[in-house]
Structure 1
Amino acid sequence: MKNYIAIHKKSDHKINLTYDTFGVLVKIEFVGERWKSETINWIFQPGRLPLSESEIWHRIENKALEFDYMEIPTDLSFSNFWNLFANKKGKIPSAQRFWEKLTDAEKIEALLYIPKLHAQKKADGTALPYPQTYISGKYWLAEKI
């Protein structure tokens, strides 16, 4: 089973999508605040949701996206975070303590935001935060505020 999160580009609504070993959609979970019935009906219109895993990749390649699709990481360990984060400076034990205090949901959001942060910092020419600062400051929440 593979799990993806689909984040609507305009509304920031999130949908968890689960695909079986054959790449077929088997589960849909609406995340966050209460969803309006018209929004759910809109999502279930033909062609809105990728019914297969390969359809996600096809949409990404063709840039035909109403949603951003990201695979939900299964490894929520600090070592995985450390390997993904490009700026390997600061005190590792301290950063690890902050990481261990996060909930699994926060760890997933933190891991999913890393590539976006790297691209953003590269584009605007500013430095990446230290890992501990990224975690303690919950940088992945910055866009939501």
Structure 2
Amino acid sequence: MKTKYLLSFKGVEGSVEFTYNETGLLVEYVCSAELSTEQLVFMLKRIPLLVEQVKEMPGIHPSFTVVELTQDLSFKIFWEAYGQKIHPHRCEPLWNRLKDSDKIAALNAMPSYFRYLTRTGVAKVNPENYIKKQYWKTDWRTAA
């Protein structure tokens, strides 16, 4: 079974995702963080090739945060949580193309988005637009 970790940085948009195989070796590295050249070089010199090394990343720099991805990020989970069952054949491929960090953000933003809808009376967008237009990137707590 593969294990995934998400490395985020204080003050930096995005994250780095590391995937390890059953023996604890790095098999995938996906960087969606907006890093400067200096930050990228710093990161590349310290890529954790073993699962034990990724757990030690916060000790390398105080701005690093590492989280093991244990959340179910399947389309089924999104579909049930969103609750508006329109065009699953168009939504599922969009969901599956998202990075895990975006799936987590999309799922985590839903309660705030739903409270915004209740507070304002605005209609919920269909799930396809929620994904396409990245609605999870809006701070719904402060939206008017």
* Secondary structure at the counterpart of residue 112 of structure 1: helix
- Which residue of structure 1 aligns with residue 142 of structure 2? none
Unaligned runs of 5+ residues in structure 2 are 119-123, 140-144
Find the aligned partners of 1:101 and 1:52 in 2 and give their Cα distance.
30
The amino acid that maps onto 2:104 is: L
| Deviation for aligned residue 1:12 | 1.7
| Deviation for aligned residue 1:138 | 2.4
- Which residue of structure 2 aligns with residue 5 of structure 1? 6
CA 1:55–1:28 in 2, change beyond 3 Å: closer, same or farther?
closer
- Which residue of structure 2 aligns with residue 79 of structure 1? 76
* Secondary structure at the counterpart of residue 18 of structure 1: strand
TM-score after normalising by structure 1? 0.53
Unaligned runs of 5+ residues in structure 1 are none
CA 1:105–1:65 in 2, change beyond 3 Å: closer, same or farther?
farther
* Identical amino acids, percent of aligned pairs: 16
The amino acid that maps onto 1:81 is: F
Check if 1:39 corresponds to 2:31. no
Find the aligned partners of 1:127 and 1:95 in 2 and give their Cα distance.
21
What's the RMSD between the two structures over aligned residues?
4.6
CA 1:43–1:96 in 2, change beyond 3 Å: closer, same or farther?
same
Find the aligned partners of 2:125 and 2:109 in 1 and give their Cα distance.
12
Check if 1:126 corresponds to 2:116. yes
Find the aligned partners of 1:21 and 1:65 in 2 and give their Cα distance.
28
Q: How many residues align?
A: 129
- Which residue of structure 1 aligns with residue 97 of structure 2? 105
